[in-house]
Structure 1
Amino acid sequence: MRRWLILFLLMAGAAGVGAWMMAGGTSGTSATPEPPQSVDLAEGAEFYQEYCASCHGADLEGQAGWRSAGEDGILPAPPA
Structure 2
Amino acid sequence: MFLAGLAGAVIVAAGGFWLLSSDGNASGMRPDDGEFVALGETIYAEQCASCHGRDRKGETNWREPLATGGMPAPPHDESGHTWHHPGQLLFDYTKHGGQALIGDRGKSNMPPFGDVLSDDEIWAVLSYIKSTWPTEIRTMHDQRNGS
TM-score by length of 1: 0.60
Distance 1:37 1:66 in 2: 30
Which stretches in structure 1 are left out of the alignment for 5+ residues? 1-9
Conservation of the 8 A alpha-carbon contact between 1:24 and 1:31? no
Find the counterpart in structure 2 of residue 57 from structure 1. Answer: 53
Equivalent AA in structure 1 for residue 47 of structure 2: Y
Find the counterpart in structure 2 of residue 68 from structure 1. Answer: 64
Distance 1:65 1:78 in 2: 9
| Overall identity of the aligned pairs, in % | 37
Q: How does 1:22-33 map to 2 (within 5 A)?
A: 22-24=12-14, 29=18, 31-33=20-22
Find the counterpart in structure 2 of residue 4 from structure 1. Answer: none
Structure 1 residues 25-44: Cα deviation after superposition (integer angstroms, max 9, x where no partner): 6xxx5741164521111110
Larger radius of gyration: 1
TM-score by length of 2: 0.36
Find the counterpart in structure 1 of residue 131 from structure 2. Answer: none
Q: How does 1:1-80 map to 2 (within 5 A)?
A: 17=9, 20-24=10-14, 29=18, 31-33=20-22, 35=30, 36-80=32-76
Structure 1 residues 15-72: Cα deviation after superposition (integer angstroms, max 9, x where no partner): x92xx443226xxx57411645211111100100111011101111111111221112
Q: Which has the higher helix share?
A: 2
Distance 1:75 1:44 in 2: 24
Closer, same or farther: CA 21–49 of 1 in aligned 2, 3 Å: same
- If asked which structure has higher relative contact order (CA below 8 Å, sep 6+), I would say 2
Find the counterpart in structure 2 of residue 5 from structure 1. Answer: none
Cα root mean square deviation, aligned: 2.7
Which stretches in structure 2 are left out of the alignment for 5+ residues? 24-29, 77-147
The 4+ residue runs of structure 1 with deviation greater than 3 A are: none
Conservation of the 8 A alpha-carbon contact between 1:57 and 1:63? yes
